[in-house]
Amino acid sequence: MAGKRAPYPAGGKAKLAPFNPGATLQEVVSHAVLLAMAWFGGLGYLGTILVLVAEPLIVIGLTIFLYPQRGLRRHLWDLVKSSALMAFLLVFVVATYAAAHGNSGGVGIDRLIQLEWSLLAWALGYSALHLGGMLAYAWTQPQPRKAWARLALTQGAITFVALFCTIFVAAFIGTWLAPLVRVVWPEVQVGDVLVLLAVLVRLGFAILMSHIPEHELDEIADNPYVD
């Protein structure tokens, strides 16, 4: 582990990373693919949310390989705590989905049960393979932990924050926006509107995170855990 550093670089003021058009375009394309999987691939809103819920947990699981000194027991406890937190968020996501349907809860639960689980399994498998590829790439870099922090740890954090905010966006915007959209386009499903909002929320945070200062990225790489 690296020693302690000053909280800010020389000059006493944190500097955001410069705007990177390539990174922004990559985020836009990846989120467009996510939206296409939801709209046209059959995942739907709840299926997409489940994939997003799984992403931070996969990241935590893979991070074990870069921080062996932490010990397997503490890593597993992190997974347990994070899984409980993501399950808690999922309950509210389903509740807001039901509210957008004008239902007290049945619609959300019914749709969750009726998900195409084989398709969801493929999506989760792809997510795990994609993140595994990131880990393999990070190992080839001079600073594997920093590469992993930039590639995956920040993405896991983005997803968690985006899911938390999506609950409020779906509750306060989705519940009135979805019925309005269906007046104009009756064939549009409530879930189509909600998944668009969820993807836009995550895209916004992803673009903001692309400007994270280098010294903060170093601190994340040194110790990504909050004990």
Instruction: Please tell me the chain's helix, strand, coil percentages from 3-state DSSP, rounded to the nearest 5.
Output: 75, 0, 25
Tokens standing for 170? 């779906």
- Residue-level pLDDT at 102: 67
- Residue-level pLDDT at 37: 84
Q: Mean of the pLDDT values across residues 96-116?
A: 69
- Residue-level pLDDT at 57: 93
- What is d(CA 126, CA 98) in angstroms, rounded to the nearest whole number? 28
Asked if residue 138 has pLDDT above 80, the reply is yes
- Mean pLDDT of the chain, nearest integer: 81
Q: Mean of the pLDDT values across residues 97-103?
A: 73
DSSP secondary-structure letter at 171?
I
Asked if residue 11 has pLDDT above 70, the reply is no
Q: Mean of the pLDDT values across residues 194-215?
A: 87
% of the chain residues with pLDDT over 70: 84
* CB 223, CB 37: distance < 8 Å: no
DSSP assignment of 30-75, as one string?
HHHHHHHHHHTSS-HHHHHHHHHHHHHHHHHHHHGGG-GGG-HHHH
Asked if residue 9 has pLDDT above 50, the reply is no
Asked if residue 107 has pLDDT above 60, the reply is yes
Asked if residue 4 has pLDDT above 50, the reply is no
Grade residue 7 by pLDDT with cuts at 50, 70 and 90: very low
Tokens standing for 76? 């597993």
- What is d(CA 79, CA 62) in angstroms, rounded to the nearest whole number? 11
In the chain, what is the straight-line distance between the N-terminal and C-terminal CA atoms, in Å? 16
Q: Mean of the pLDDT values across residues 127-152?
A: 90
* 54-90 tens-digit pLDDT: 999 999 999 989 998 888 888 899 899 999 999 998 8
Tell me which range, 108-112, 118-122, 131-135, 223-227, is most confidently predicted by mean pLDDT: 131-135
- Residue-level pLDDT at 140: 92
